[in-house]
Amino acid sequence: MKQLATLLLAVLCHSAVATNTPKNIIMIIGDGMGPAYTTAYRMYADDPNTPEVEQTVFDRLLVGMASTHPDIDTGYVTDSAAGATALSTGVKTYNGAIGVDANKESVQTVLELAKMQGRKTGVAVTSQINHATPASFGAHNESRQNYDQIADSYFDEKTNGQFVLDVMLGGGWKYFIRDDRNLVEQFKAAGYQYVDEFAQLDSVKVGTPLLGLFADAGLPWALDSANQLRLPTLAKAAIRQLENDQGYFLLIEASQVDWAGHGNDIGSAMAEMHDLALTLEWLEQYLVKNPDTLMVLTADHSTGGLSIGANNDYSWSPKWLKNLKVSPAKIGTQLMTAKDRGALASDLLGFELTIEEISSISAIESDKSRPFHKAIAKILDSRSNTGWTTPGHTGVDVQIFAKGLGSERFRGHLDNTGIAQTIFELLKDKR
């Protein structure tokens, strides 16, 4: 009788663990998305006709904070490769490292463990799919700059004889269709479907491996995208392909929040945040219908030292960012050959420029778009009273957001490696 009671207790305990173990894990990284970005987005999305500042999806999902420093011999400020490797492996490493430790030895990633367990795996990103963050989950390389090698490894390196990634959605034509090797044709010969237009995602065969490349490198800015739901579209398509009885692990990255931060471009930053927010709102509803799924969102670091308010002036005015017809980068490109720069810029920005603002772009003498882009970004900074401290990264803590089965385990303050270690634990508790 005592043995029966012990056995029954063990079964009940196992059942309790199993019911708290997610079948599917969706990990999302807002690259470069420090706390100032989510705060700014709350103000950007605020309805000015109501007395309160409404919460956003980021506020609803917030559960904790995370430290981000790389291997201490590197310093206190991480790059995306070391940050993503910490989030994928639970191991600190040097800046530039892709899925390897400080000694350049390969370290297992959460995505690889999920694959070994029989789950399907995928990445859906707005950068090239062999960029630092997705690469740190699906590859191993001593340098993030070895783009061709990383792309090759997606085909050449296998887990239990299988490709590590079942679904790959993002940019990267120039790395996968090269003079020396055509990886697209190799993936197609291996049974992958291939698409290079968003519209084709609606007609792919569900449940089969999928490679989707939609740009030479990173995708167009959210402001320039023909598909105004570009990240939500990629996320939905990836999940459709990955859903199965064994579960899946999906990495989603809002890659270009970081790129906007590097460019000190508040207009593009808020558009990229909106793209991510729409993705999260859809995922919130997905989790209601799929309670066996965990969603975890964090950032690898913060970029740009974004300041909501500048010049000792206690104000911030996001209204100037809401009527952009295209990205500041694209405005810069068009200004290069414009006969009336003031008129064109006013039209594309959605507000009339002052004489001083027109002078700032009319005085530029350059055959490159970058000076024009910077001038437009400065106009938006001045209008909105946005400040920046650097074109690089900063070492501030970032937020953790989570919902679904197991989300309570991410509450409080964690190191970025702790996020990965918790996901490893959840994967190893697989029912």
Joined tokens for residue 374: 């910077």
Q: C-alpha distances in angstroms, 40 versus 141, 195, 307?
A: 35, 35, 9
- 191: region left, alpha or beta (phi > 0 left; psi from -120 to 50 alpha): left
CB 253 within 8 A of CB 135: no
Q: Which of these, 258, 267, 221, 255, lies nearest to 392 by C-alpha position?
A: 258
Q: Which residues make Cβ contacts (< 8 Å) with residue 103, sequence separation at least 6? A: none
27: β partners = 251, 296
- State phi, psi for 311 to the nearest 5 degrees: 60, 35
Q: Where are the beta strands (DSSP E) in 6-90?
A: 24-30, 62-67
Helices (H), 90-229: 110-116, 132-138, 147-156, 173-176, 183-189
What gap in Å lies between CA 267 and CA 264, rounded to an integer?
Answer: 9
C-alpha to C-alpha distance for 54 and 40, rounded to whole angstroms: 12
Residues ≥6 apart with Cβ < 8 Å to 73: 94, 102
CA distance 110 to 116: 10
Buried b (16+ CB within 10 A) or exposed e, 122-151: bbbbbbbbbbbbbbbbbbbbbebebbbbbb
Give CA–CA dist 422/429, Å, rounded.
11
**Distances in Å between the alpha carbon of 274 and those of 57, 165, 351, 380, 384?**
10, 27, 21, 18, 17
- Name the phi and psi angles at 210, rounded to 5: -140, 130
Contact by Cβ (8 Å): 293, 286: yes
The residue from 80, 127, 384, 407 that is catalytic is 80
Active-site annotation holds for 80: yes
Residues marked active site are found at 80
